[in-house]
Amino acid sequence: RVVAVIMVGGPTKGTRFRPLSFNVPKPLFPLAGQPMVHHPISACKRIPNLAQIYLIGFYEEREFALYVSSISNELKIPVRYLKEDRPHGSAGGLYHFRDLIMEDDPSHIFLLNCDVCCSFPLPEMLDAHKRYGGMGTILVVKVSAESASEFGELVADPTTNELLHYTEKPETFVSDRINCGVYIFTPDIFTAIEGVSTQRKDRANLRRVSSFEAMQPDPRILPANYVRLDQDILSPLAGKKQLYIYETNDFWEQIKTPGMSIKCSSLYLAQFRHTSPHLLANGDGTKKAGITGDVYIHPSAKVHPSAKIGPSVSISANARIGAGARLKNCIILDDVEIKENAVVSHAIVGWKSSIGLWARVQASGDYNAKLGVTILGESVTVEDEVVVFNSIVLPHKTLNVGVQDEILL
Ligand code: GDD
């Protein structure tokens, strides 16, 4: 049997995701019309003998209750949210719930970061992992040398695929092969995490007897049960024939900023074309007037037949799109109204916002720039004919004059 665990983090981790994380925990922000965490969860469907899916985080339980019960029914696989009382780190969080996870007596445990966007080749990883015979296998992708330092960089043996060297976000270049945040482990991972905790406790005891530190704890020293998977587990175990890599050539992105959520929404929409065409507005292959490329429209949304939608657009519940409106590369959230002939591109339009007649909400579409996409928070009103370009607008603002390259608080 196999168990999957998805690390969803908590409210303090989502700060780069503001103002969108004001309304909804980041893992539930919609990409391609589905909550972010829905994509790894539905990828788990392909794992043979999957017994359970756990989401581990430190958000309030009630924030996930509705989603978790509906997805359990839909997939016919139990999905449970487990709340940490405080952050224990990416490995510590897993260890915290070891007894529960081991109840199903799994032979293998998948561990997935919730804020990555990829094709999640999980059954393929499981096969490779069994062939290697190690304790863990890491999904790896090649990225540009310039961007590699944002991630865990690693070196592996090209023939055996053994992980030889691992450094988390190094200052000097090590490798353009990086850690995708998708892993499979045998239950021995718990022993490895326990080892780190025990070592920390021993060191703390030593310090206590040898100095006055007990009175003045060093803030750089992590608590014994706070264990990071990357620095504390992967780095020391590299080169010990316990960890292996599985390299993917498919798409892979990390979702830390609102801009990246537009990019990832579009990647998932493109994937739906192969995996879930029924979710796309023109998924049945017929040409629909006004729709180009991959588009998701929630069944309750009302789109005027003369509006031009796509490519890469996702429209959430109860949104209303007026005649002659033009939408591309954007995410339209619940209850938004876009009036006649308005234009929206490279933008996220927040819950209950309203875009006036002939207004334009646009951006350059540079997803890596701070202001490369335009983000409107909840209940923002853009009045008729107003142009908003490369800007972030916080909730409840009304714009009656044009803005460019601004953050409006
Ligand atoms: N439940 C829980 N508790 N989850 C946590 C905690 C915690 O205390 N700390 C982090 N997480 C979750 C985050 O929500 C995220 O899904 C994942 O664990 C990793 O988060 P970080 O530890 O903040 O690392 P990162 O996202 O900056 O980088 C990691 O992922 C990259 C791939 O996206 C590293 O492992 C990199 O090496 C890797 O390239």
What is the value of ipTM here, to two decimals? 0.99
Task: Report pLDDT for 12.
Answer: 76
CA distances from 207 to 2, 39, 200, 214, 218 (A): 41, 45, 11, 8, 10
What band does 221 get if pLDDT is binned at 50, 70 and 90? confident
pLDDT tens profile 260-293? 999 999 999 999 999 999 999 987 766 777 999 9
Look at residues 27, 29, 14 and name the one whose alpha carbon lies nearest to residue 351.
29
The predicted model gives 152-173 an average pLDDT of 97
What band does 220 get if pLDDT is binned at 50, 70 and 90? low
- How remote is the CA of residue 181 from the centroid of ligand 1, in Å? 7
- Sheet order of strands, 354-355 included: 302-303, 320-321, 337-338, 354-355, 381-382, 398-399
CA distances from 74 to 34, 77, 102, 235 (A): 13, 8, 24, 38
The predicted model gives 24-37 an average pLDDT of 96
Asked if the model's pLDDT at residue 350 lies above 70, the reply is yes
Helix axes 188-210, 89-96, angle to 10 degrees: 110
Amino acid at residue number 353: S
Which protein residues touch ligand 1 with a CB less than 6 Å away? 7-9, 13, 56-58, 84, 87-90, 93, 113-116, 151-152, 168, 178-181, 228, 230, 254
Asked if the model's pLDDT at residue 216 lies above 80, the reply is no
The predicted model gives 150-162 an average pLDDT of 97
Task: Report pLDDT for 212.
Answer: 58
Asked if the model's pLDDT at residue 203 lies above 90, the reply is no
Location of structure tokens 């700060």: 15
In angstroms, rounded to a whole number, what is the distance separating the alpha carbons of residues 162 and 155? Answer: 9
- How remote is the CA of residue 148 from the centroid of ligand 1, in Å? 16
Least confident of 198-202, 302-306, 340-344, 383-387: 198-202
What band does 218 get if pLDDT is binned at 50, 70 and 90? low
